[in-house]
Amino acid sequence: MSRFTTRHRGRTASAAVAALAAATILLSACASSTTDAASADAAGERVDGGTITAYSANISYLDPRQNHGFVGRALADSLLDIDPDTFELKPWLASAWSVNDDQTEFSFTLRDDVTFSDGTKLTGDVVKANFDGAVQQIEDGVGWYIRGLFDNYIETEVVSDTEVVVKFSEPNPAFLPTIPTSFLAILSADSFDKSYEERQAGDFSGSGAFELEEYTPNEQITLVRRDDYDWASEVAEHTGPASLEKITINFVDEQSVRENALLSGEVQLAQNPTVEGTKQLTDQGFGLISRAQSGNPYSLVPNFARPLTKDIELRRALAKVIDRDTIQSSITTDAEPASTSVLTPQTFGYADQSDLISFDPEGAEEILDEAGWVVGDDGIREKDGQRLTFTLVNWWEPKAVIDALQLIKEDAAKVGIEIELVNEAPGGSTWTDGKGDFLYNNATRADGGIALYSQYTDEYLLANSGATTEEVIEPGSDLNGILEASFVEPDTDKRQDLLAQAQEIIVRDAVRIPVFDNVNSESGYFAYDSKLHGLRENSISELVLYDAWLTS
C-alpha cells in the first residue's frame, strides 16, 4: 500500500486526510447509537442561554489526560477532532497538519486566536509541553490510556509560535488517531507544574467551551460557559460560545434515583439508565444517547501472577462456560451485544473471532477431566488438595454487569469451577494488591493497535503481572513479535492483518476472555429531557456538551 503526505487547510477536507482517517479507524458503519440525539434538533432554531442539572455517577478525575469523561472533554480541546460518522479528521486547535511518508513526523499548524481559561495563549511551546508531559505521565505510571504511544518519541520541535513537528524514531500509525481524543487534550503550560492529584481535582486550564466554577468531591461539579470561546472544531454544529450558560452535575450513585429525577423533571440529564428503566423513559418521550465503546470490551482480564490463572487449560475451560447469547438476550439487550473478539467492532484493527468463542460447558468439563480436576462432594473440582476457585474482581456498577457476572458464576459452578465475586470501587485493594485472579474490565482506546500493544507485549505484560507472553500462550506462537511489528507497521492492510493474528492468539489462549461489547456508560450513555437538544458523542463515545441547547 502506497504512503502519502496529508495536508489540510481551511474548512474543506482533503481526500488524502479522509483516506488516512478511514484507513486508521473503522468506518461509521461499525458505530451504533440507541437514539439519534441530533434528530431532537427538529424542535427549531438554536436557543442561547439556559442552565441544566444532570445526575451522574461520581466523577473523581476531572483531568481528561488522566481519565476520559464528558466533564474533562467540556473543559479541554484537542489539536484535531474526528467526525464520529465518517471518521474523517477535522481541524480544531490545529488549522492544518501533515504526515511524512513513513509516519515518523507529524506537523501541526496552530490557530493563533486560542486562549486557555487562565488567559494564556496557545503556542508551539505549549504543545511541546503537552507532548513532553505525556511522556512524563507515562514514566510516572499515570499514562494508562496512552501507554506505548510514545515509546519511540524523539521530540516536539517548535518551529514557531504556530508550527510544531512531533518526531518519532519509528513509524507511529496510532499517533494521529489518538490526537483527537481527550487522552491528548491540550492544557496550558502552567498546568504541567501541578501535581497529578491537583490536576485530578480540576486544578488545570483548558481551552474548552466551559470552565470549572466549582468542584466538591463526591458531591457536585458546576461548569460555566466561556463567553470568549470561538474555536470549535469542524465537527461541531455551531460556532462561537456554547449555548448553555451553566451545567450543574450532582453525583448520585443509584441508577434508579437518577432515572426518577429525570422522570420527575428535577434534572434534564441522567447518566446510565438501567435496562428496565429505559423503556419507561422512552415511552414517556425522553431521549437516549449512547455509542458503543471503542477499544476492549468487557472481559475477564487474568492476573498471570496467580498459579491457577497462568494455566492455559483452566482459562480455556472458564472461557467455554460463558453464555454470551443468554447474557445478550436476557440482560444486556442488543444495545450491548455478545463480544466477538478482544476488540470491539468500533475499533481499528478489529477482526471477528466468533469461531473461537462459544458456550460449550461439555467442552469445559472435558478439559478439566483431562487435566485431572475431580468433582468434589459439593460439586467444585479439586486437584492435589487444591480447590478450583477463581477470585473475580469487579469495579463496575451497572446492573447489567452485576447480573452477567452472577450468571457466569452460576454456569461455572455447573462444571465444577467456583468463582468468588468481589465487587468493589475502582482501584480496590483486592486487585491492586494482587489477590484477584481475574478483573472484569474494559478499556477505551482510539486505536486497536495501542489497545493490544500496551497490554500484551512482554514489556507491559511483565509489568502488569510478572509473566511473558510465552508463558501464557501456546508454544510456537509469537504474540509479542506480532504486536511489536504491528505497532510500527505503516501499511494499513499489513497492520490490520497483524492485529487479526494477535486477536486470534489472545482469544484462542484466553489471554483475555471477552464477554460483551458495552456502551460507554461512564461518559457517554445518558437519558435526557425532550427540551434538551444538540447532544452528540465523539469518536471514543464521550458525551459532548458544547452543542447542547435548551428550549423552554
What tens digit of pLDDT does each residue of 187-242 get? 999 999 999 999 999 999 999 999 999 999 999 999 999 999 999 999 999 999 99
Together in a domain, 526 and 458: no
16 inside domain: no
Percentages of the chain per state (helix, strand, coil), in multiples of 5: 35, 20, 45
- Model confidence at 546, in pLDDT bands (50, 70, 90)? very high
Whether 235 is covered by a domain: the verdict is yes
Is residue 14 pLDDT above 60, yes or no?
no
Q: Are residues 167 and 286 in the same domain?
A: yes
The residues near 377 (Cβ < 8 Å, ≥ 6 apart) are none
Q: What angle do CA 396, 54, 219 make, to 5 degrees?
A: 70
What is the structure's pLDDT at 122?
Answer: 98
**Is 203 domain-assigned?**
yes
The three three-digit cell numbers of residue 527, written as one number:
437519558
Q: Average pLDDT over the chain, rounded to whole?
A: 90
Q: Residue 32 pLDDT more than 50?
A: no
Q: What grid cell was written down for 114?
A: 486560542
Judged by average pLDDT, the poorest of 187-191, 278-282, 373-377, 449-453 is: 278-282
- DSSP H or E run through 214: strand 210-216
CATH code for the domain in which residue 488 is found: 3.10.105.10
**pLDDT at residue number 277:** 82
- pLDDT score recorded for residue 25: 35
Shared domain for 502 and 532, answered yes or no, is no
Q: Are residues 234 and 328 in the same domain?
A: no
Identity of the highest mean pLDDT range in 186-195, 511-520, 533-542: 186-195
Shared-domain flag, residues 139 and 238:
yes
The CATH number linked to 239 is 3.40.190.10
Kindly state whether residue 177 falls inside one of the protein's structural domains: yes
- 227 falls within a domain: yes
Structure confidence at residue 523 (pLDDT): 65
Instruction: List the domain range (segments joined by +) for residue 273.
Output: 35-291+521-550
Cα–Cα distance list, 39 to 16, 36, 287, 389, 498 (Å): 31, 6, 10, 50, 39
Residues 413 and 544 in one domain: no
What confidence score (pLDDT) does residue 15 get?
31
Q: Identify whether residues 258 and 122 lie together within a single domain.
A: yes
Q: What is the mean pLDDT of residues 406-414?
A: 98
Checking if the pLDDT of 365 tops 60, the result is yes
Cα-only R_g, the chain: 23
544 and 440, same structural domain? no
Residue 26 pLDDT class (50, 70, 90 cuts): very low
**Paired sense of beta strands 51-56 and 246-251, if any:** parallel
Is the pLDDT at 391 greater than 80, yes or no?
yes
Whether residues 382 and 510 fall in one domain: yes
| Angstrom distance (rounded) from CA 500 to CA 496 | 6
Lowest mean pLDDT among 50-54, 347-351, 519-523, 547-551: 519-523
Q: Tell whether the model's pLDDT for residue 322 goes beyond 90.
A: yes
Alpha-carbon gap, residue 59 to 195, rounded angstroms: 18
392 membership: H or E segment, kind and range: strand 389-394
Indicate whether 38 pLDDT > 70. no
CA angle 478, 480, 482 (to 5 degrees): 70
Q: Which residue has the higher pLDDT, 1 or 76?
A: 76
- Alpha helices (runs of H) in 38-117, residue ranges in sequence order: 70-75
Tell me if 23 is assigned to some domain.
Answer: no
The secondary structure of 476-541, three-state, reads CCCHHHHHHHHHCCCCHHHHHHHHHHHHHHHHHCCCCEEEECCECCCCCCEEECCCEECCEECCCC
Q: Concatenated DSSP letters for 225-274?
A: E-TT-----TTSSS-SS-S-SEEEEEE---HHHHHHHHHTTS-SEEES--
Q: Which residues pair with 419 in a beta bridge?
A: 390
- Average pLDDT on 162-166 reads 98
Confirm whether 257 is domain-assigned. Answer: yes
pLDDT, tens only, 58-77: 898 999 999 889 999 999 99
- 252-289 pLDDT tens trace: 988 889 999 999 999 999 998 887 788 889 899 999 99
* Of 140, 112, 141, the residue nearest 126 (C-alpha): 112
pTM for the structure as a whole: 0.83
Burial of residue 529, with CB atoms counted within 10 A of its CB: 0-12 exposed, 13-18 middle, 19 or more buried: buried
Q: Are residues 371 and 343 in the same domain?
A: yes
Window from 110-114, 141-145, 182-186, 469-473 with minimum mean pLDDT: 141-145
**What is the distance of C-alpha 203 from the center of its chain?**
23
User: Are 202 and 342 members of one domain?
Assistant: no
- Over the stretch 473-509, which tens digit does the pLDDT of each residue have? 999 999 999 999 999 999 989 999 999 999 999 999 9
The pLDDT score that the predictor gives to residue 31 is 35
The answer on pLDDT for 36 being more than 60 is: no
Strand 381-383 and strand 374-375: the pairing is: antiparallel
pLDDT > 90: what percent of the chain?
76
In a domain, 25, yes or no: no
The predicted pLDDT at position 274 comes to 80
Q: How confident is the model at residue 397 (pLDDT cuts 50, 70, 90)?
A: confident
pLDDT above 90 for 50: yes
Q: Tell me, what's the pLDDT at 16?
A: 33
Residues 316 and 415 in one domain: yes
3-state secondary structure of 317: helix
- The total domain count for the chain is 2
